[in-house]
Amino acid sequence: MTTKGSDRPAGKVLRSRRDRVLGGVCAGVGHAIGIDPLLVRLVAVALTIVSAGTAAPAYLLAWMLIPQATDEPEIEPGPADADVRASWHALGGELRMLADELRKPRPEETQTEQRTPEPGHSPLQAADQAVTAFGDRLRSPQVQASARRAAASLSTALTTSVRALDSRSRRGGD
């Protein structure tokens, strides 16, 4: 028995090279269990949100541990698939910009002030200082604007994905 759109046996999880948004993990899992990879992607995003981000390292671990497929048939994406892929790639760009904003030093700090812990501080005091600095960074108008753009991009990606999934189910799953 093979999975839909793939020559690999059902149950064998391989990261997809052709039907990927990031690492091909969700597509590989979807093909292995015989469901639409878009549904797996939506579940992965929901788990990441509900778990306050702790599902993200699980995805990264799966990306490292699940082998990549070597021979997959070429998949011709339809217009809805192209929209979904474009919206997820736009989200990735927004998240990279948010990360860049978070990494920028505050204008009143120098590089040495950021990296040099004060002498005599305990590890707890150093952690408190780091979390406080991160909180201050989150209150920056530039970071907040970037976070709003990333949230809007996430909303667009999820909406586009749900619409594509609904369209596929109405067509009978292709």
Lowest mean per-residue pLDDT among 7-21, 45-59, 94-108 = 7-21
**What's the chain's average pLDDT?**
78
Whole-number Å distance between alpha carbons of 117 and 113:
8
The first and second tokens of residue 119, run together, are 């002498």
**pTM score, whole prediction:** 0.55
pLDDT band at 9 (very low <50, low <70, confident <90, very high): low
Per-residue pLDDT tens over the stretch 29-73: 988 888 888 888 888 888 888 888 888 888 888 888 888 888 765
Return the bridge partners of 9, or none: 2
- Cβ-based neighbours of 63, under 8 Å, separated by 6 or more: 15, 22, 23, 25
Per-residue pLDDT tens over the stretch 140-155: 898 889 989 988 988 8
Whole-number Å distance between alpha carbons of 3 and 22:
21
CB 107 within 8 A of CB 174: no
Q: Is 28 exposed, middle or buried (0-12, 13-18, 19+ CB in 10 A)?
A: buried
- 151's enclosing H/E stretch is helix 141-170
Amino acid identity for residue 128 in this structure: D
